[in-house]
A = this chain, B = another copy of it.
Amino acid sequence: MDEVRDFRYRKGMSSEELFDGISKIGYQGLNLGRAAEVIRKMRKERAKIFLTFTSNMASSGLRGLFAQLCEKKLVDVIVTTVGSIEEDFIKAHNEQFYLGDFDADDLELGKKGLNRIGNIYVKSKSYARLEEELKPVLEEIYSKNKTPTPSEICRELGLRIEDKNSFLYQAAKNDIPVYCPAITDGSFGFQLLEMRNKNKDFQVDIIGDMNKIATEAGIEQKIGLIVLGGGVSKHHAILANITNGGADYAVYISTAHQHSGSLSGATTREAKSWGKIKDEGDAVTVTGEVSILFPLLMARVIGGSSR
């Protein structure tokens, strides 16, 4: 058994050294250290890595890190919800999001044209901008393909952006598919509806993407999951690999707990009863908030092998 090590700050400590110190403290620090080990193994074994995240994360500054992971080809597949697509696209058009307060007066914010996402504010007019920018792109997509899949739409959006901090841009550029099974569940849904009203034969082919994501990983290939938060993004990445015998490696980071029986709070351990993660699979669940834990973790993973 490894020993708990008393942590001390050292002047000039690098982010990697800080991480290594934290990983010997115990509790979630220890689990985070184990998550770094699991991701290291994914990479060493050249596993196909699925990254999933929820919309609020793309609203936050984590967006840049997701883009960077695509740029560095550290992930192979992305699964997310449509809010992520919308907000990545908005930001790529120079709309800013703002640092605010959880305890703000929401009626006051509403009057000022600000929408609150936890302690982040977005201007209502940023969403108006979204609509305006999306329309011509959707027209173009339709002119080429009357039944695009959500991942095809995401790719087309990415190809029309130039922003190194956009995950849509970096994913498109690096041939990383972005899956979004519930693509109508956002402003985007209203845009798709408008397209349909003009073009009766316009369909979003969600079954096409089901086919594509379920065959992402070959039978021979190792599979790794990096699951941030819960919801449909989490479930979909797990599901997609079930016919391949489940993931070989998995890291879940979430604030949700298992006690309600929700999939969002389900641990990597529960996944083993389903064959969602292989019996002998390396898997770790870290409980905590992604805006802090994920940059810390990826700094260690990207920062390399000093340990």
| Interface set of A (CB-CB < 8 Å, partner B) | 1-9, 11-15, 17-18, 21-22, 24-32, 54-56, 59-65, 67-68, 81, 83, 91, 96-100, 102-104, 106-107, 109-110, 114-121, 147, 165, 181-186, 189-190, 192-193, 195-196, 202-211, 214, 229-232, 235-236, 239, 243, 255-266, 269-275, 279, 287-293, 295-296, 298-299, 302-303
Of B13, B30, B121, B263, which one neighbours A56 at CB under 8 angstroms?
B263
Residues of B within 8 A of A11 (CB): 302-303
Of B13, B115, B204, B289, which one neighbours A206 at CB under 8 angstroms?
B204
Residues of B within 8 A of A266 (CB): 117-118
Q: A24: nearest residue on chain B (CB-CB)?
A: B61
B184 and A207 contacting across the interface, CB-CB below 8 Å: yes
B165 and A189 contacting across the interface, CB-CB below 8 Å: no
A29 and B239 contacting across the interface, CB-CB below 8 Å: no
B185 and A181 contacting across the interface, CB-CB below 8 Å: yes
Residues of B within 8 A of A17 (CB): 15
Task: Give bound CA distance, A63 to B255, whole Å.
Answer: 25
A81-B232 contact in complex given A182-B181, A207-B193, A207-B202, C-beta closer than 8 Å: yes
